């Protein structure tokens, strides 16, 4: 299972619209969009989990693709290193 970061989502994006977009490349195992607490609108980013080969296909097909009035940024999530300071 691979987790992907999705950035530059339009504020009117919904979990349903993003799931439909990624479903073209395989089964969406989980989807979490960051939303504003008060308005409920998308904050412009989220995370999707898919199987490895499906995730690679989704990144190749969706990174830079127009979605609404924005161009998506899709890449593998880079886990934060715990306990390290700069």
Helix, strand, coil in percent for the chain, rounding step 5? 25, 35, 45
Contact 31, 81 (CB under 8 A): no
CATH number assigned to the domain comprising residue 40: 3.30.70.330
- The mean predicted confidence, pLDDT, of the chain is 94
CA atoms of 65 and 52, how far apart (whole Å): 20
Domain assignment of residue 12, yes or no: yes
Backbone angles phi, psi at 15, to 5 degrees: -60, -35
Domain assignment of residue 46, yes or no: yes
User: Under the phi-then-psi rule, with left for phi > 0, alpha for psi from -120 to 50, and beta for the rest, what region is 44?
Assistant: left
* pTM for this prediction: 0.88
Residue 3 binned pLDDT confidence (cut-offs 50, 70, 90): very high
Domain assignment of residue 82, yes or no: no
Number of separate domains in the chain? 1
**Amino acid 78: pLDDT:** 85
Domain extent, residue 22, equals 2-76
Does residue 86 carry a pLDDT above 80? no
């Amino acid at each position: 299972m691979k987790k992907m970061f999705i950035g530059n989502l339009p504020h009117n994006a919904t979990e349903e619209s993003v799931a439909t977009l990624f479903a073209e490349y395989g089964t969406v195992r989980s989807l979490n969009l960051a939303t504003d607490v008060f308005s409920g609108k998308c904050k412009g980013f989220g995370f999707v989990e898919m199987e490895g080969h499906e995730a690679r296909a989704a990144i190749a097909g969706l990174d830079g693709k127009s979605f609404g009035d924005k161009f998506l940024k899709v890449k593998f999530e880079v886990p934060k290193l715990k306990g390290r300071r700069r």
